[in-house]
Amino acid sequence: MRCHSPIASANDADLSTCPQAVKGTAARFVWICTLPSESAGFGRTRGNWLGLLAQFSINPRHLVFAHLPRRQITGWKYCPRFQIEASQSGAASPAGCFAATFACVCPVTLPDLADKRAAISARHVRYAPMTTLVFGHKSPDTDSTGSAIIWAWYLTTIQGEAAEAVLLGEPNTEAAYMLQRWDLPKPRIIASVEANQPVVIVDTNNPAELPPDINAADIRAIIDHHKLVGGLETKGPINIRIEPLACTATIMYKMIGNDLARAPSNIKGAMLSCILSDTLAFRSPTTTPEDRTIAEALAADLDIDVTSYAAEMFAAKSDVSGFSDAELLRMDSKTYKVDGKTFRVSVLETTSPETVLSRKDGLMEMMPKVAEEDGADQVLLFVVDILNEEATLLIPNELVRSVAEKSFSTIAGDSDLLVLPGVVSRKKQIIPNLAV
Ligand SMILES: [Mn+2]
């Protein structure tokens, strides 16, 4: 579809003369050209445009502007459904002069848009669809990595919305194994989000685990399985789904429903990986019958043996040789306040606890530094033995000794290690018991 000729002045509210406009098209992208040579007022408010597009039953996700100085469309920034993009050439228009007549408004498809972009010249037009970023928490584990990928696939392929999975840090070794095993590209890593950037948050709802500027973003949805901690602010009413299941991917499996039949095996593989990771292959007390049933259905579909695949994942997670003591303390760590004290509660799930415990002196030495740098009073490190289903808490000082005895009704003695039989879940067995 070509759409080059000017067909209406900006002051004409009626676009029905546009020969290229196609009524009733559920366009995902709408191209709006403005001509800098015309000095007629660009007298359209956001509402005008929306009304205009509604005339054609066009439901655009993105508006692309050409020849329009960014400052003149700043009023649009609160219009979250649209990407507003101004060209550099437009910025050369006389100050205060809205750049002009629009050439056309017509529904286009993405390939078509690319075609137009080439036709009109990249000098005049920059195209940047407002892609929704999907991400989980900082220090991404398998669920935060996999669920972001799964949901970006769902939004893009099933919902028809541009979406990209991103990470808030390097994935842990198990998540990296999942990416490689299922031939999934590693999502790019971001440190911050821009104002009004549409985002979907998965596997957390805790601002402390998200970019510092998260509330300036346009949070579109939250899918999570952690307790609601508060602090996130949205620009409007949004979909929030939090369920007391072991894993975000389990919730997504339910939300995606029959559309999962359209998923490639690597998306299903990511789902299975997330569930096996978060449930520690059904050992964790957070595991629900739903998590188990869904994981088993996925495994059967993929012809994967759960036991051996989980063993491969856990072996990958247990390979921590490449990490410094400080990195180990921060790898899987969440901050909690208990009776006025702030704890960084770190968990290392491993099939080889002796590997980590052999480094206990270095780890304990590093704790005060990490705590200070991260604004915590104390780091608590629990080394979780996945296979034997027990945790070992490192006891570097009297504060931790006292916390350990009060929290787990035990006597820590003189040892700098305290074994807690049956404890594997921070969410269910550690955090709820923490006492100072
Ligand atoms: Mn999770």
Per-residue pLDDT of the chain (436 residues; tens, 9 = 90+): 223 222 233 333 333 333 333 343 334 344 444 433 322 333 344 445 555 555 544 444 444 444 344 444 443 332 333 333 333 333 322 222 222 223 233 333 333 444 444 433 333 333 334 689 999 999 999 999 999 999 999 998 998 788 999 999 999 999 999 999 999 999 999 999 988 889 999 999 999 999 999 999 999 999 999 999 999 999 889 999 999 999 999 999 999 999 999 999 999 999 999 999 999 999 999 999 999 999 999 999 999 999 999 999 999 999 999 999 999 999 999 989 999 999 999 999 999 999 999 999 999 999 999 999 999 999 999 999 999 999 999 999 999 999 999 999 888 788 999 999 999 999 999 999 999 9
Q: Among 60, 88, 120, where does a domain finish?
A: 120
* Ion ligand 1, residue ranges at CB < 5 A: 143, 203, 248, 278
Q: What is the pLDDT of residue 195?
A: 86
Check which CATH number belongs to the domain holding 203 and give it: 3.90.1640.10
Q: Among 90, 120, 150, where does a domain finish?
A: 120
Ligand 1 centre to CA of 202 (Å) is 8
Q: Are residues 109 and 164 in the same domain?
A: no
> Is 238 contained in some domain?
yes
> Is 275 contained in some domain?
yes
> Is 308 contained in some domain?
yes
Give the C-alpha separation, 302 to 266, whole Å: 9
Q: Are residues 350 and 419 in the same domain?
A: yes
Q: What is the pLDDT of residue 410?
A: 86
Ligand 1 centre to CA of 348 (Å) is 15
Ligand 1 centre to CA of 278 (Å) is 6
Ligand 1 centre to CA of 172 (Å) is 13
> Is 97 contained in some domain?
yes
Q: Are residues 342 and 404 in the same domain?
A: yes
Ligand 1 centre to CA of 147 (Å) is 8
Ligand 1 centre to CA of 192 (Å) is 21
Ligand 1 centre to CA of 287 (Å) is 12
Ligand 1 centre to CA of 280 (Å) is 11
Q: What is the pLDDT of residue 411?
A: 84
Ligand 1 centre to CA of 144 (Å) is 6
**Burial group, residue 55, by CB count within 10 angstroms (0-12, 13-18, 19+):** middle
Q: Are residues 115 and 144 in the same domain?
A: no
Give the C-alpha separation, 169 to 227, whole Å: 22
Host domain of residue 357: 325-433
Q: Are residues 305 and 362 in the same domain?
A: no
Ligand 1 centre to CA of 209 (Å) is 13
Ligand 1 centre to CA of 140 (Å) is 10
Q: Are residues 219 and 351 in the same domain?
A: no
Check which CATH number belongs to the domain holding 399 and give it: 3.10.310.20
Which residue carries 């890593």 as its tokens?
189
In sequence order, which residues have a C-beta less than 8 Å from that of residue 171 and are 6 or more positions away?
A: 140, 141, 142, 145, 179, 186
Give per-residue burial for 344-367: e unless 16+ CB within 10 Å, then b.
bbbbbbbbbbeebbebbeebbebb
Q: Are residues 136 and 253 in the same domain?
A: yes
In sequence order, which residues have a C-beta less than 8 Å from that of residue 238 and are 6 or more positions away?
A: 219, 220, 221, 222
Q: Among 120, 150, 166, where does a domain finish?
A: 120
- The sign of the CA dihedral 144, 165, 168, 320 is positive
Ligand 1 centre to CA of 72 (Å) is 43
Give the C-alpha separation, 279 to 349, whole Å: 11
**Cα angle, residue 85 at apex, residues 21 and 190 outer, rounded to 5°:** 130
% helix / strand / coil in the chain, to the nearest 5? 40, 20, 45
Q: Are residues 299 and 344 in the same domain?
A: no
Ligand 1 centre to CA of 421 (Å) is 23
> Is 24 contained in some domain?
no
Q: Are residues 142 and 232 in the same domain?
A: yes
Give the C-alpha separation, 171 to 160, whole Å: 27
> Is 1 contained in some domain?
no
Query: How many residues can be counted in the chain?
Result: 436
Ligand 1 centre to CA of 237 (Å) is 24
Q: What is the pLDDT of residue 17?
A: 38
Q: Are 334 and 227 in contact (CB under 8 A)?
A: no
Ligand 1 centre to CA of 332 (Å) is 11
Ligand 1 centre to CA of 248 (Å) is 5
What does the H/E/C string look like for 328-371? Answer: HHHHCEEEEEECCEEEEEEEEEECCHHHHHCCHHHHHHHHHHHH
Ligand 1 centre to CA of 139 (Å) is 12
Q: Are residues 196 and 288 in the same domain?
A: yes
Q: Are residues 145 and 99 in the same domain?
A: no
Ligand 1 centre to CA of 165 (Å) is 16
- The sign of the CA dihedral 406, 412, 414, 418 is negative
β-bridge partners, 378: 343
From residue 206, how far is each of 54, 143, 190 by CA, in Å? 38, 15, 17
In sequence order, which residues have a C-beta less than 8 Å from that of residue 21 and are 6 or more positions away?
A: 15, 56, 104, 105, 106, 107
Q: What is the pLDDT of residue 119?
A: 38
Q: What is the pLDDT of residue 91?
A: 30
Ligand 1 centre to CA of 159 (Å) is 23
Closest CA to 313 of 278, 261, 340, 357: 278
> Is 87 contained in some domain?
yes
**Total number of domains constituting the chain:** 3
Ligand 1 centre to CA of 246 (Å) is 7
> Is 66 contained in some domain?
yes
Q: What is the pLDDT of residue 96?
A: 23
- The sign of the CA dihedral 208, 210, 216, 222 is negative
Q: Are residues 242 and 372 in the same domain?
A: no
Q: What is the pLDDT of residue 52?
A: 52
Structure tokens at 268: 């299903």
